[in-house]
Structure 1
């Protein structure tokens, strides 16, 4: 396939999927989130989006991004340097928990416009950019496997398989954006954790951590409501 043919493929629209596929993909996404043993595995995808959000915000605010680490316990770490206070570090700290639902919202917008193939390839490009900044073996493995799934589906999958995969992925990001915020507050309340993103933001802004937890949750719920309405064509 030449460049013109590839470009036409990436920018073309696909037929709207049947309603049962949209609803079925939402159910599949829920099944990857609600059962704890499954969530223990699928949460790694949320961590990829979370740490990628930190990294992208650091780059966009002109901070120096030193690297990103993803761990097998679904935690992660993004290291950047720059001014210790100010908008750049605040936006970088706030971007983690807001990244998965906002990515899901962007994906829902693409699917609402019937750009299934374009969504898959945007995901591949974002994952390739993230891979460059990964600094540990488990992180490399996680990103490579996720990117390989997107590539194989986009290159070899039928149009219906591509649509099903894309819809499950977008529903997952929209729905999964809520649970980590609830876990965050549970960790703060029951375990006394005071090194979370919300606590770091409270230290940077002198606004209580509960405000930031509420902001994360509101962002996730708003993205779910809006993105879900687009996917369901309400």
Structure 2
């Protein structure tokens, strides 16, 4: 990685060669294991929460709402608060975006990786985290964003392209695979301890359709996006 701003910009705009197939396969296996196994999932799920709340925030802004703050909690939950009309398409899109955001971001990342934009992907992630940091309203949220950003920055700045490629594929595979498990956890939580504030139950109030219906929609969208991502890279 270059050390001047000109070198950085050139690296961001350049196309990097694809890693060897075994790296793509290995990172996919490691990412899937991270999602399926309890201890690594409890740590890595913080990244999912960041993307989840980022999805809410982005759609709030795109739909014309005023974003007032984001909070990330140590139990890997989060809250995004925006102001605007409490009903309507804008609010529906804002609420809907959260649970599908990790898988969708994973798919978009795969498209970037397929075009060789590995360094660009890493720096785009840093920009996304910096934009979120401005809206974070609690200490743990700041800590989560800063630590995640520091890891991505360290890889993008201090490591060779081969390491960047392996990290980028691991990161994107994880987001792609990580979309399904939180939806299953959501339904399990709804059955044990129903909460009117869950995204599915907010969607129920906004649309008149049952919360369980929206859980199934989240699940189907994420499963379809994950399948498409795997197909694009392997078939």
Instruction: Give the TM-score, by structure 2 length.
Output: 0.95
1:90 maps to 92
The 2-side partners of 1:43 and 1:51 are apart by 12
Could you say what the CA RMSD is over the residues aligned between the two structures, in angstroms? Answer: 1.3
- 2:95 and 2:84 mapped to 1: Cα distance? 13
- The alignment partner of 1:195 has SS state of coil
Does 2:78 correspond to 1:44?
no
Does 1:140 find its partner at 2:142? yes
Provide Cα deviations, 1:60-81, integer angstroms capped at 9, x if missing partner: 1111111000000001011111
Q: Following TM superposition, by how much is the alpha carbon of 1:167 offset from its aligned partner in structure 2, in angstroms?
A: 0.4
The SS at the match of 1:68 is strand
Where does the alignment leave 5 or more consecutive residues of structure 2 unmatched? none
User: Residues of 1 paired with 2:78 and 2:145: CA distance?
Assistant: 13
- Measured in 2, the distance between the counterparts of 1:158 and 1:5 equals 14
The secondary structure found in structure 2 opposite 1:32 is: helix
- Tell me the equivalent position of 1:102: 104
1:29 aligns with 2:31: yes
Q: How many residues align?
A: 233
The answer to whether the 8 A contact 1:111-1:231 is kept is: no
Q: How far apart are 1:228 and its partner, in Å?
A: 1.5
Return the match for 2:193 from 191, 194, 209.
191
Instruction: Measure the CA separation in 2 of the matches of 1:230 and 1:114.
Output: 14
Within the candidate set 76, 90, 107, 1:74 is matched to 76
Superposition deviation, residue 27 in structure 1: 1.3
Taking the aligned partners of 1:26 and 1:193, their CA distance within structure 2 comes to: 34
Are residue 207 (structure 1) and residue 202 (structure 2) matched? Answer: no
Q: Return the alpha-carbon distance in structure 2 between the equivalents of residues 195 and 9 of structure 1.
A: 44
**Deviates further, 185-194 or 204-213:** 185-194
Contact 1:68 1:76 in 2 (8 A): yes
